[in-house]
């Protein structure tokens, strides 16, 4: 039994079950389904893709060793960390900065592109994929922790300074946009009948 069949929905703020479009407990607006979320998700993903390009082509940081260093892109920074034998940090930066954003963008696009599927097995796979994206999304800000770790390494004798470069802003925007895109997906639409929202 689904709440939408009985015109009932949970309040997104206080979790009270309501049969009207305004919560009787907290006054929040209630939507039975977030139909506009698909369009907003696509818009966020297109913006994230557009910003992902400069985020990877422009320098993101300069690691000054003995007061010498050159600006590095994300991949260049990973290679620089490998040269400095900071393998765990290099792996974390590579995974969080390159693999995770690409995975989230491709997965979310796949989910919203196939949200109308009638295949029951595919519905289950889409729901599981969204859960994975949502879990991975919680680690999207891992780069902030990595940067904090790098700042701590400034005190190590062979690194004197870490300087942020322009790509930091683009990358931050990509992370925020993919988080917003993920939050716009209403997975209940996967399980609704296709004709409900066509």
Q: Give per-residue pLDDT as tens, 150-180.
A: 666 665 555 567 778 899 899 989 999 999 9
Ranges of CATH 1.20.140 domains, the chain:
33-191
Q: Are 57 and 166 spatial neighbours (Cβ–Cβ below 8 Å)?
A: no
Verdict on whether the full-model pTM lies above 0.85: no
Q: Give per-residue pLDDT as tens, 20-51.
A: 788 888 988 887 777 889 999 999 999 999 99
What's the token pair of residue 166? 């322009």
Three-class secondary structure of residue 23 per DSSP: coil
Dihedral class, residue 85 (left if φ above 0, else alpha if ψ from -120 to 50, else beta): left
What's the token pair of residue 41? 């998700």
What's the token pair of residue 181? 């895109």
- The top-level CATH class assigned to 33-191 is mainly alpha
Which residues, other chains included, contact 100 with Cβ-Cβ below 8 Å and sequence gap of 6+?
Answer: 136, 139, 140, 142
Residue 64, pLDDT above cutoff 70: yes
The residues with which 64 forms a beta bridge, in sequence order, are 161
Integer Cα distance of 172 and 48 in angstroms: 10
Provide the pLDDT for residue 157: 55
Secondary structure (H, E, C), 58-99:
CCCEEEEECCECCEECHHHHHHHHHHCCCHHHHHHHHHHHHH
């Amino acid at each position: 039994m689904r709440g939408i069949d009985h015109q009932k929905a949970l309040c997104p703020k206080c979790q009270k079950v309501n049969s009207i479009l305004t919560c009787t407990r907290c006054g929040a607006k209630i939507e039975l389904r977030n139909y506009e979320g698909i369009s907003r998700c696509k818009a966020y993903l297109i913006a994230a893709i557009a910003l992902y390009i400069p985020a990877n082509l422009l320098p993101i940081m300069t690691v000054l060793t003995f007061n010498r260093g050159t600006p590095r892109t994300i991949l260049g920074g990973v290679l620089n960390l490998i040269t400095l034998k900071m393998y765990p940090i290099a792996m974390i930066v590579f995974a969080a900065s390159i693999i995770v954003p690409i995975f989230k963008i491709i997965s979310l696009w796949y989910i919203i592109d196939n949200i109308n599927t009638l295949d029951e097995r595919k519905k289950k796979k889409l729901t599981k994929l969204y859960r994975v994206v949502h879990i991975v999304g919680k680690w999207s800000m891992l780069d902030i922790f990595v940067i904090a770790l790098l700042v701590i390494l400034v005190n190590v004798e062979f690194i004197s300074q870490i300087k942020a470069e322009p790509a930091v802003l683009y990358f931050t925007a990509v992370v925020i946009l993919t988080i917003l895109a993920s939050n716009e997906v209403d997975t209940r639409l996967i399980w609704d009948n296709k004709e409900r929202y066509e």
